[in-house]
Amino acid sequence: MTPADGLLVLRPGPLTTVQDLGRRGVAHLGVPRAGALDEPALRAANRLAGNEPGAAALETTLGGVALRALRPLVLAVTGAPSPVRVDGRAAAWGAPVAVPAGAVVEVGAATHGVRAYLAVAGGIAVPPVLGSRSADLLSGLGPAPLSAGDRLPVGPPPPYRPAPELVPLPAPPDALVLRLRPGPRADWFDPQALTRLAGDPYRVAPASNRIALRTEGPPVRRARDDELASEGMVLGAVQVPPDGCPVVFLADHPTTGGYPVVGVVPPADLAAAAQARPGTPVRFTVVRGRRDRGR
């Protein structure tokens, strides 16, 4: 069986993209990782839909999405809590939902958090690019953000798997706590910079996006004002641009950068960052010792 049209986009919302677990192992080619910002939520949606964990799904941003099922489908919505409706009737969030052919599926505006994930049994079967179906907003790789009238192919239904009764996920944060492992350019900053960074109040800036979580707050003081040669960047790197406000790199981050990195946030903390709305308080906690392996 080959992928066929499964969904027609009626309302794309402010920003809805196709995402899976991203492009791994290609940063040396200058290609960002991309992929779902809230990876545990993507995995949970796929589990509920009966898919493999890395199947491509839809990532919405704040305002949801509206779609018409072009054939009978099973879907699940996780991530930011949002109202789900099928032909105007309330449907379950965080559980499998059977949708008949022709029905309109609506994921409403998020009541908390930022990004919801809609997985459909069989996965969104757009063509892969460098091993991933993810949209990368920085490089332009992968499918473009959804537009009204788009038709999305859906793969064949996966083998039957009993749906789990519960897929626990943390609630979107009222306050964001990010661990920070110092380096590699911590020596470019004032000796007390890390202490102040851990004690000063920050908040999520409105300019945050899939590339980075940007912050507002007291500037981090540098000890060196000279130029830094461009060097490789990793997921979770915390750059400090000229305004002094820390920037936490997320999935669509560039692979190189020229601002000093004061530390790195472990991958396990970034799902919460993906769900933090503008204005959410941010606190950095400096940690040292055993390396965090993330999730």
The answer to whether 43 and 5 have CB atoms below 8 angstroms apart is no
**Nearest in space to 47 (alpha carbons), one of 154, 165, 152:** 165
Please, which contacts does 89-97 make with residues 24 or more away whose CB atoms are closer than 8 Å?
94/44, 94/48, 94/167, 94/169, 95/48, 95/163, 96/48, 96/49, 96/50, 96/163
Q: H/E element holding 40? A: helix 39-49
Domain ranges within the chain, ordered by starting residue: 4-154, 176-286
- What is 176-286's CATH number, 3.30.230.10, 3.40.190.80, 2.40.100.10, 1.10.510.10? 2.40.100.10
pLDDT score recorded for residue 89 = 97
Three-state DSSP class for residue 127: coil
In order along its 295 residues, the chain shows pLDDT tens digits of 446 789 999 999 999 999 999 998 888 888 889 999 999 999 999 999 999 999 999 999 999 999 999 999 999 999 999 999 999 999 999 999 999 999 999 999 999 999 999 999 999 999 999 999 999 998 899 999 999 999 999 999 888 777 777 677 888 999 999 999 998 898 899 888 999 999 999 999 999 999 999 999 999 998 888 888 888 999 999 999 999 999 999 999 998 998 999 999 999 999 999 999 999 999 999 997 655 444 4
Residues 6+ apart with CB under 8 A from 177: 269, 272, 283, 285
pLDDT score recorded for residue 139 = 87
Q: CA 201, 203, 207, 208 torsion: positive or negative? A: positive
Three-state DSSP class for residue 264: strand
Q: How far apart are CA 285 and CA 252, in angstroms?
A: 24
Question: Which pTM was predicted?
Answer: 0.93
